[in-house]
Each structure stands twice: as C-alpha cells, then as structure tokens.
C-alpha cells in the first residue's frame, strides 16, 4: 500500500507526535509498504526530500511562532504537491489537529482523494494553554470538524 503520514514536524525533532509518526512509518516500511511522511520544517526556506530508515520524508517550510501552529509557507506550491500525492495513495494519516499545516494538508488531500482512506489522530491537548490560543480555538475547531467529518 501507498501511505502518506502528515505531521507538524518529524525526526530529529523530539516529541510525542514525532515519536509516534516515526515508529508507525518505519514499521509500515519494514512490512513492505511505500511510506511517505510529509512534515513541517520550522524556519526552512524551501522544501527538501530525504530517506530515513526506508521512509521518504518531505520536509515543508513552516512558520511556527512559539513552536505552535506550524503555518505552511508556499501554500499554492504545497497544494499542488498534495493534489499530486492524492492521486496515488491508499491511506493518508493526519497527525495533530493543532497545526495549520496538518489541517490544510488533510483538507486539501481529502478534497482530491477518490479511493484513499483518511485517518486522523488528533493528539488533542485541549482548546489552548493561553487566552489567545483558547480564542483561536473557537474559530479553528470548525476547520478540525470539517477534516474529521471526511475521515474514515
């Protein structure tokens, strides 16, 4: 199967989501699946590709103020990449509902996938840890709901 996982950041960044995505991706690759991880890359200027332990990793530039939100840069170019990926995948697994990068990617792929299954693991940690983040959640939860309503 062809599987794409989308996450805010990927190894060598260390965190719970990063560990889980790396573990799933490498195990699936060892089982013979074609696995791609599309990950945000804070403060990068351009996308880059690499292979780590049998997993294709596409690192996409994001702006991540306070290590949060992970806004994708070059959104029109990212949209083209996502539509291209959507044509040839069996499963897309979106990780973390707190990043603009992952929700944008999930909604874009979801609008362009015909046969693929969409899986969402929220890694939810509440509506926000600051007043600003709680206020942003009031708007953001509608985007999250749109993604979840299209998931399998």
Domain of 44, CATH number, reads 3.40.50.2000
- pLDDT tens per residue, range 86-127: 888 999 999 988 888 998 999 888 876 667 888 999 886 666
Q: What is the pLDDT of residue 54?
A: 96
| Tokens describing residue 111 | 């609008």
Of the listed ranges 19-28, 75-84, 133-142, the one predicted with least confidence: 133-142
Return the CA Rg of the chain: 15
Q: What is the pLDDT of residue 127?
A: 61
pLDDT tier, 144 (very low <50, low <70, confident <90, very high otherwise)? confident
Q: Are 64 and 71 in contact (CB under 8 A)?
A: yes
Q: Quote the number of domains for the chain.
A: 1
In sequence order, what are the residues at sequence separation of 6 or more whose Cβ sits closer than 8 angstroms to the Cβ of residue 52?
A: 11
Q: What is the pLDDT of residue 90?
A: 93
The parent domain of residue 89 ranges over: 2-149
- pLDDT tens per residue, range 11-63: 998 888 999 999 999 999 999 999 999 999 998 899 999 999 999 999 999 98
């Amino acid at each position: 199967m062809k599987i794409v996982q989308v996450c805010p950041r990927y190894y060598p960044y260390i965190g719970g989501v990063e560990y889980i995505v790396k573990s799933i991706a490498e195990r699936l690759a060892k089982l013979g699946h074609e696995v791609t991880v599309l990950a945000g890359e804070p403060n990068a200027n351009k996308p880059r590709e690499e292979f780590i332990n049998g997993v294709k990793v596409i690192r996409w530039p994001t702006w991540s103020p306070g290590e949060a939100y992970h806004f994708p840069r070059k959104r029109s170019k990212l949209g083209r990449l996502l539509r291209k990926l959507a044509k040839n995948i069996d499963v897309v697994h979106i990780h973390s509902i707190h990043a603009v990068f992952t929700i944008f990617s999930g909604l874009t792929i979801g609008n362009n996938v015909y046969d693929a299954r969409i899986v969402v693991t929220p890694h939810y940690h509440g509506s926000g840890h600051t007043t600003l983040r709680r206020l942003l959640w009031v708007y953001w939860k509608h985007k999250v709901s749109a993604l979840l309503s299209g998931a399998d």
